[in-house]
């Protein structure tokens, strides 16, 4: 007999303690993101500039350059890293429940590879040049929406969206769009354009500005709100469509909602950061190991953990080979692969279960 959603076993770590710790770690991590970098600034200067930026304080003429580094370059980058990490982690939780596959992540729907086509069109061929600094994110988001429409149209059946068709369609579209982006890179006449395209494909927050934060943050917050509201239904969906129907949940309708929310959030974050892998795969599993499989607890922990994780990964990407910068996706893979192997070796951990 299936376990009712309200009787899912309790968390391994007390939820209030874990959430409180992550809520403290998040602002500390943001401050560290603003303070750590190639330019040697004291923590007193960093905190002074952050306070001035947050309160609209006055900056002395000789502090303009250091203020610009902290408030205009590093801090928006850290804030955007938090937004992207939270969005990818939350969508990872939703997608794993939607397709009932422990190996699913936000990119299994093919949305990220679709966004890459638009981004490469800007970086390599100068498309949407009239939009200026908005060209890259606009093109990536529009192509992500196009990919979403294609995946939904192909995967839909008279019975609705089924997990297997979603995974197969998303995987097929991923390879199709990847082939297009690879062709575009090889067709590039300028070597620097191809290098920029590859950097974007591997994930980078180097182009973060305050103007790129609000839209991505707004989409992610709306997505988190909807997923939090749907957490109880996610518990039911994870038990199977038949059980969900018996408990009064329309699995087809819920899966359609999750697909739209996941695609919108993925498209928004990929448009500003590129394709950063492993966050949406690893963080849900790590959170599940700590607090159990109840999606009400998972969606309280995973976004915070994803935000903190990506801030520190971005910090590492700036300092490991300073003054050069590593793509963020390289480090998330370097961290995620061994962590995932360790999870697989744990006999007490059941992927996707409790």
Task: Report d(CA 110, CA 179) in Å as an integer.
Answer: 12
**Spatial contact of 69 and 78, defined as CB atoms under 8 Å apart:** no
37, HSE (Cβ side, Cα atoms, 13 Å): 23
Calculate the alpha carbon distances from 293 to 112, 114, 133, 250, 287 in Å. 26, 31, 42, 21, 9
Contact 87, 217 (CB under 8 A): no
pLDDT score, position 184: 83
Confidence at residue 190, expressed as pLDDT on a 0 to 100 scale: 65
240 contacts: CB under 8 Å, gap ≥ 6: 2, 100
Residue range 13-27+69-345 in CATH 1.10.3470.10:
yes
**Mean pLDDT for each 10-residue chunk of the chain (354 residues)?**
47 83 96 85 89 86 88 93 95 87 79 84 77 78 85 81 82 89 78 73 84 90 94 86 81 86 87 86 88 91 96 91 83 84 65 49
In this prediction, residue 354 carries a pLDDT of 41
Whole-model pTM over 0.85: yes
Q: Check if the beta carbon of residue 121 is closer than 8 Å to that of residue 131.
A: no
Helix (H), strand (E) counts: the chain: 15, 0
CA distance 269 to 137: 9
**Sequence ranges of the domains in the chain:** 13-27+69-345
CA distances from 44 to 38, 59, 67, 73 (A): 17, 14, 12, 18
Query: Rounded to an integer, what distance in angstroms lies between the CA atom of residue 297 and that of residue 107?
Result: 23
The per-residue pLDDT for 352 is: 53
- Tokens encoding 312: 């520190």
CA-only gyration radius of the chain, Å: 21
**Contacts for 110 with CB less than 8 Å, ≥ 6 apart:** 147, 150, 151, 169, 170, 171, 172, 173, 174, 176, 177
For residue 346, the model assigns a pLDDT of: 66
Residue 76: its pLDDT value, please? 94
């Amino acid at each position: 007999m299936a376990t009712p959603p309200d009787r899912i076993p309790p968390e391994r770590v007390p939820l209030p303690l874990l959430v409180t710790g992550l809520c403290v770690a998040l602002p500390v991590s943001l401050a560290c993101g603003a303070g750590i970098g190639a330019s040697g600034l004291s923590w007193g200067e960093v905190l002074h500039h952050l306070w001035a930026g947050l309160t609209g304080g006055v900056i002395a003429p000789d502090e303009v350059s250091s203020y610009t580094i902290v408030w205009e370059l590093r801090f928006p980058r850290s804030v955007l890293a938090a937004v992207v990490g939270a969005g990818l982690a939350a969508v990872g939780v939703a997608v794993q429940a939607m397709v009932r596959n422990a190996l699913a992540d936000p990119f299994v729907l093919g949305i990220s590879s679709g966004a890459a086509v638009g981004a490469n069109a800007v970086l390599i061929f100068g498309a949407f040049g009239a939009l200026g600094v908005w060209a890259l994110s606009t093109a990536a988001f529009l192509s992500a929406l196009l990919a979403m429409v294609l995946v939904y149209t192909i995967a839909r059946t008279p019975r609705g969206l089924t997990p297997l068709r979603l995974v197969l369609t998303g995987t097929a579209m991923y390879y199709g769009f990847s082939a297009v982006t690879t062709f575009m890179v090889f067709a590039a006449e300028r070597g620097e354009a191809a290098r920029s395209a590859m950097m974007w494909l591997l994930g980078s927050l180097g182009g973060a500005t305050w103007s790129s934060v609000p839209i991505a943050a707004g989409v992610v917050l709306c997505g988190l709100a909807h997923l939090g509201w749907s957490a109880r239904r996610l518990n039911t969906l994870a038990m199977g469509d038949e059980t969900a129907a018996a408990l009064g949940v329309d699995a087809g309708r819920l899966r359609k909602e999750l697909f739209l929310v996941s695609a919108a959030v993925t498209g928004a974050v990929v448009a500003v950061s590129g394709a950063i892998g492993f966050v949406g795969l690893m963080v849900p599993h790590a959170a599940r190991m700590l607090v159990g499989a109840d999606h009400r607890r998972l969606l309280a922990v995973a976004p915070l953990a994803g935000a903190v994780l990506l801030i520190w990964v971005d910090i590492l990407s700036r300092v490991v080979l300073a003054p050069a910068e590593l793509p963020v996706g390289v480090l998330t893979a370097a961290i995620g692969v061994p962590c995932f192997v360790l999870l697989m070796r744990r006999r007490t951990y059941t992927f996707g279960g409790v």
